[in-house]
Amino acid sequence: MNQLGFPILTLLIAVPTFGAIACLFSDAKAARWVALVATLIDFALGLTLWATYQVGGPQWQFQEHLGLFGSFGWSLGIDGIALMLILLSVFLMPICIIASWEAIQKRVPEYMAAFLLMETLMIGVFTAQDLFLFYIFFEAGLIPMYLIIGIWGGADRIYASYKFFLYTLLGSIVMLIAMLWMANYAHSTFIPTLMVTDFPVRAQTLLFLAFFASFAVKMPMWPVHTWLPDAHVQAPTAGSVILAGVLLKMGGYGFIRFSLPMFPEASAQLFWLVAGLSSVAIVYTSLVALVQQDMKKLIAYSSVAHMAFVTFGLFAFNRQGLEGSLLVMLSHGLVSGALFLCVGVVYDRLHTREISRYGGVSTNMPKYALLFMLFTMASVGLPGTSGFVGEFLSMLGIYGASSWAGAIATTGIILGAAYMLFLYRRVAQGPLDKPDVAAMADISPREMLTLVPLALVVLWMGVYPKSFSEPMKKDVGVVLARTDRAWKGGDAKLTKGSAKPVVVAEGEAH
């Protein structure tokens, strides 16, 4: 069955499911503990998965198959890319539960159940090897997220929850029809089989667009990103962390699992579409982020900009671009999650997200200011933090695909630094002249517990990214092997030159 002798992936999915059911039948206090224990068990299982995953071994590992549902089956299995995204999910979940420990006081059992259900579905998406099983997990995430935004959200929660639900539903239902067509054409619903199926080039374009509709909304790409700021602002802190940390990664995962290997010709043909939308997104959403008055909105727009880096890098059709994108996804999951937690810390004290209500918190909250600074720098992409590695690699990849795109993407880095530093200056620095801000206490041990692990991983990924990129290397190669035949190469014509030392004539030296 697999190298462990027991169905670990099913177990990963089952633990939070049963935890969710148990939560529904317990009171608030018990539900918190059940949720924490369930997520920690899942985290331990995730670490086991990482420890036993054979880097450079077979492409698909830990495979399970049960033909339960007639036309499709319970097929699970992971490659390195899925492994990393699963680790990200199981790592963020206990942090989310701890972050909601005191912030959520109403309807706690349902809240915890919804989060555990989310975890089930996220892991399901990354492990599913059957096309329709993937779709079920992918789509089912709508239900808990709708309830999380709608019940525990802020003032405009109902509008935000509708927008989130209907946008994403419209995107993915078109994908379902494309999937049906593919299953009919290839006579298989097994994703590894479909990944090596050559679909007719003319059909590929339509299929690509159908999948694109779904993943672009999930990602989200400009111009279908407008649900994200609304959903973020209204979701509770932990909801935002999961939304930014893992849910947005489903779009990127979809591109690399489906769009690129299954429709390589269409991907290459429609490079202009992805590159165009990503360019607009990088510049436009960065500018929008610059003028936001609301902290969460600002970070939400920065997410859109970062995700544009991901799409750009994915469609660069070279190793740097793909690996860079994957690292940006992981890094963004950690950093934006951490930034939302940082916003949550001050929000819990002052109950406002308006940037101008804060100022000078570095004086009375030094520990908070330090951590906030670290995550700000990681978001900007300072070398030594996780943000640098991914952004640098994907920029390199983008330049390889198109020098114009490379130029536009670079402005995103500069604008990114501008809005993040501007945010940090307005919140943490300046005079501490507001009495209620001055009265805020520094972060509590519980909050430390949520932020410090994130900070450590951010530094780890910045200093030694190989631990994270190594398992994905081979799988990136598999995707490239599919796209190479379709991609004609970019305009940059990167060829290795031979270095010529400048020989300066001795007599002319002064």
Partner 1 sequence: MLLSFTFTAPELILSVGAMVLLLVAGWRGDAAVRGIGFGALGLFVLAGLSLLGNAGHGGIAFGGLYHADAFASFAKVLIYIAAGVSVVLAHGFFQRSGELRAEYPILILLSAAGMGMMVSAGDLLTLYVGLELQSLSAYVLASFMRRDQRSAEAGLKYFVLGALASGILLYGIALIYGFTGTTQFGGIHSSFVTQMAATGHLPTGLLFGLVFLLAGLAFKISAVPFHMWTPDVYEGAPTPVTAFFASAPKVAAMALLARVTVEALGPATLAWRQIIIFSSLASIVLGAVAAIGQTNIKRLLAYSSINNVGFALIGLAAGTAEGISAVLVYMAVYVVMTLGSFLCVLKMRGNDGRQLEEIAALSGLSRTRPGLAAALAMFMFSLAGIPPLFGFYPKFAVFQAATNAGLFWLAVAGAVGSVVGAYYYLKIIKTMYFDEPAPEFAPSDDKVEGGLIAIAAVIISPLGYLAIPALTAATLAAAKALF
What residues line the site for partner 1 (CB under 8 A)? Answer: 68-71, 107, 110, 132, 135-137, 139-140, 142-143, 146-147, 150-151, 157-158, 161-162, 165-166, 169-170, 173-174, 176-177, 180-181, 183-184
Q: How many CB atoms lie within 10 A of CB 118?
A: 28
Residues 6+ apart with CB under 8 A from 96: 39, 115, 238, 241, 242
- Cβ proximity to partner 1: between 47 and 158 the closer is 158
Residues 6+ apart with CB under 8 A from 495: none
- Cβ proximity to partner 1: between 109 and 261 the closer is 109
- Cβ proximity to partner 1: between 151 and 448 the closer is 151
Phi and psi based region of residue 5 (left: phi greater than 0; alpha: psi -120 to 50; beta: remaining)? left
Q: What 3-state DSSP class applies to 76?
A: strand
Report in angstroms how near the CB of residue 89 gets to partner 1 at its nearest: 18
DSSP 220: T
Q: Tell me how far apart the terminal alpha carbons of the chain are, to the nearest angstrom.
A: 74
Query: Per-residue DSSP letters for 11-69?
Result: HHHHHHHHHHHHHHTS-HHHHHHHHHHHHHHHHHHHHHHHHH--TTS-SSEEEEEEEEE
- Cβ proximity to partner 1: between 140 and 421 the closer is 140
- Cβ proximity to partner 1: between 111 and 309 the closer is 111
Report in angstroms how near the CB of residue 70 gets to partner 1 at its nearest: 4
Please state, in angstroms and rounded to a whole number, the distance separating the CA atoms of residues 300 and 450: 20
- Cβ proximity to partner 1: between 21 and 47 the closer is 21
Which structure tokens are listed for 339? 């930034």
Report in angstroms how near the CB of residue 309 gets to partner 1 at its nearest: 30
- Cβ proximity to partner 1: between 50 and 162 the closer is 162
Please state, in angstroms and rounded to a whole number, the distance separating the CA atoms of residues 270 and 494: 22
Please state, in angstroms and rounded to a whole number, the distance separating the CA atoms of residues 394 and 414: 15
Report in angstroms how near the CB of residue 143 gets to partner 1 at its nearest: 6
Burial of 357 (0-12, 13-18, 19+ CB in 10 A): middle
- Cβ proximity to partner 1: between 136 and 287 the closer is 136
φ, ψ at 61 (rounded to 5°)? -125, 165
- Cβ proximity to partner 1: between 139 and 475 the closer is 139
- Cβ proximity to partner 1: between 150 and 359 the closer is 150
The distance from CA 501 to its chain's CA centroid, rounded to whole angstroms, is: 44
Report in angstroms how near the CB of residue 165 gets to partner 1 at its nearest: 6
Q: How many CB atoms lie within 10 A of CB 423?
A: 24
Report in angstroms how near the CB of residue 160 gets to partner 1 at its nearest: 11
Please state, in angstroms and rounded to a whole number, the distance separating the CA atoms of residues 136 and 144: 14
Report in angstroms how near the CB of residue 1 gets to partner 1 at its nearest: 21
Dihedral angle computed from the Cα positions of residues 450, 456, 457 and 458, in that order, rounded to the nearest 10 degrees: 100
- Cβ proximity to partner 1: between 21 and 494 the closer is 21
Please state, in angstroms and rounded to a whole number, the distance separating the CA atoms of residues 258 and 218: 14
Report in angstroms how near the CB of residue 146 gets to partner 1 at its nearest: 7
Least Cα distance to 36 among 134, 112, 147 occurs for 112
- Cβ proximity to partner 1: between 140 and 355 the closer is 140
DSSP 75: E
Query: Per-residue DSSP letters for 78-129?
Result: E-HHHHHHHHHHHHHHHHHHHHHHHH--SSHHHHHHHHHHHHHHHHHHHHB-
**387: part of which helix (H) or strand (E)?**
helix 386-401
CB 224 within 8 A of CB 283: no
Report in angstroms how near the CB of residue 33 gets to partner 1 at its nearest: 21
- Cβ proximity to partner 1: between 173 and 449 the closer is 173
